[in-house]
């Protein structure tokens, strides 16, 4: 099975879920203009059902700029969304705004969320694995005792590029990694905006682990 087939089956898997839960850990290293390294980490939890929509919460262990903006997003099946701080609604917003806020401290909002709610929110079809421009199968690995395919991708939208560890038997995303640089053949570069190769894609490295995953299929 090639990378494109794995991606297609992964999208189909999440599209067909009645419910999904995970909890996990994110680690982000950001480099400033002087190449100084700044790092932060957080735990997160996702709860989704086809009847109620999605809730995604995160906790950094200390107050950060992101946690002052929000520590939870909620997206309804009709797309109506809101952000919360300390379990209190801070602001109502669009689903796209909520996703971007969840991705503000890394790419947490752009990995599982777009494929999980692709049917409910049409804008999500432009993000994550839904927007693959280039893909490559890069071997196999064990993640939490699960055999996974390693799929490297370049995307037309956030998180722009990265490596997905996808369960070989169930097509569940188990881990996501993003390095500072991306290797795109020169003859393919005309497909991407000029700023893709300059500013944003080289600012950070990141790892997301999705653990304690539970799900039920709708079909």
Residue among 77, 70, 117 at smallest CA distance from 98: 70
What percent of the chain clears pLDDT 70, i.e. is strictly above it? 80
Q: Answer whether 162's CB lies under 8 Å from 176's CB.
A: yes
Tokens for 55, please give them: 């809730």
Residue 18: predicted pLDDT: 95
- pLDDT tens digits along 76-119: 999 899 999 888 998 999 998 999 888 765 688 899 999 999 88
pTM for this prediction: 0.86
pLDDT over 50 at 30, yes or no: yes
Report pLDDT for 100: 86
Q: What is the mean pLDDT of the chain?
A: 84
Q: Which two tokens stand for residue 73?
A: 């997003």
Average pLDDT over residues 139-151: 97
82 vs 70: CA distance, rounded Å: 10
Residues 158, 160, 162, 166: is their CA dihedral positive or negative? positive
Domains identified in the chain and CATH numbers: 3-211 (2.50.20)
Burial of 102 (0-12, 13-18, 19+ CB in 10 A): buried
Over 80: is that where the pLDDT of 14 sits?
A: yes
């Amino acid at each position: 099975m090639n990378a494109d087939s794995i991606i297609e089956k992964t999208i189909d898997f999440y599209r067909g879920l009645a419910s999904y839960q995970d909890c996990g850990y994110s680690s982000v290293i950001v480099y400033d203009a002087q190449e100084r390294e700044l790092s932060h980490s957080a735990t997160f939890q996702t709860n989704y059902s086809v009847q109620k929509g999605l809730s995604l919460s995160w906790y950094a262990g200390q107050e950060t700029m992101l946690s002052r903006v929000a520590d939870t997003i909620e997206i309804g099946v009709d797309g109506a969304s809101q952000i919360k701080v300390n379990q209190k609604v801070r602001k109502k917003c669009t689903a796209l705004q909520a996703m971007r806020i969840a991705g503000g401290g890394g790419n947490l909002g752009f990995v599982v969320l777009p494929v999980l709610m692709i049917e409910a929110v049409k804008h999500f079809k432009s993000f994550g694995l839904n927007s693959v421009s280039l893909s490559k199968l890069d071997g196999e690995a064990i993640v939490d005792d699960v055999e996974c395919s390693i799929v490297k991708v370049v995307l037309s939208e956030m998180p722009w590029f990265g490596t997905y560890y996808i369960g070989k038997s169930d097509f569940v995303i188990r881990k996501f990694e993003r390095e500072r640089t991306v290797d795109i053949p020169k003859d393919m570069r005309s497909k991407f905006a000029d700023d893709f190769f300059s500013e944003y894609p080289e600012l950070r490295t990141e790892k997301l682990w999705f653990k304690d995953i539970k799900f039920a299929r709708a079909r």
